[in-house]
Amino acid sequence: MKPMFKSKYEGMGFVEALIAIMVVGASSVVLMQIAAHTLQDMIQNETIDTMTQYAVEGATMVQNVAMQEKLTGENVFPDPIGNANYCYVIDKEGGNQYSVRKNADGFIKYTYDPILRGDYKEEALVAEDEANLYFRIFCIENYNLTDSYSIVKIIVGQSTINQVISDGKSITKGYSVKDYTYFTVVNL
C-alpha cells in the first residue's frame, strides 16, 4: 500500500505542469503580438520608403519637362497663367524622356481633393511600379514669373489595386498609409 502523502505529491506535479503550460501559452501569445506589430511596422516603413522614392523621382521628371520646354520652346509644361493649384500626371516615355499628360484640349487637369481622388487614382499609376500599387501626380502650387520658378507639390498615394482602402489624408496606421507629399522648386 502506498503512503497517502506520495499520491498528493504526484497530483501537485500535475497542477504545476498545467500552470507552466498556461504561462508558456500566455507568453507565446504576447510574443506573437509583438512579432505581428513588428511586421506591420516593417510593411509600413517599406511603403513610406517606396512612396518617398517615387516622389523624389517625380520631382526630377517635372524638372526635366520644364527644362525641355525652356530648351526647345515646345509647349510641354503647363503655362503659368491660370494653371496654378491644378494637378497633372507625368508620363514616362522611355529613357529620360517624360511628358505631362495631354488630350486634344490640352493638359489634363485634376484638383487634388481627397474626396475626389478617385478621378485620378487609377489614371495616374506610377509607370515604374509594375504591381500598380501607387499613383503619382504633381500640383503647381505657385509661380514666380519674375525669377522664373515654380513651387511644385508631388503627391504619391496608394491606389485601390492593392485592396488597401486609404483616403489619403488619415494618419498612417495598419496597412493604410496617407498620401506622401514632396515639395520642390522647378526652374522655368
Write down the domain spans for the chain: 4-187
Q: Is residue 183 over pLDDT 90?
A: yes
Residue 57 confidence (pLDDT): 94
Residue 165 confidence (pLDDT): 61
Type of residue numbered 38: T
Structure-model confidence comparison of residues 131 and 88, the more confident one: 88
Secondary structure class of 181 (helix, strand, coil): strand
pLDDT digits (tens, 9 = 90+) for 166-178: 655 566 666 678 8
Long-range interactions of 162-168: CB distance < 8 A, separation 24+: 162/131, 162/132, 162/133, 167/114, 167/117, 168/114, 168/117
Residue 166 confidence (pLDDT): 62
Residue 94 — very low, low, confident or very high, per pLDDT cuts 50/70/90? confident
Q: What angle do CA 152, 97, 151 make, to 5 degrees?
A: 10
> Residues of the chain with pLDDT > 90: what percent?
36
Structure-model confidence comparison of residues 93 and 39, the more confident one: 39
Structure-model confidence comparison of residues 16 and 54, the more confident one: 54
What is the reported pTM? 0.80
Type of residue numbered 101: R
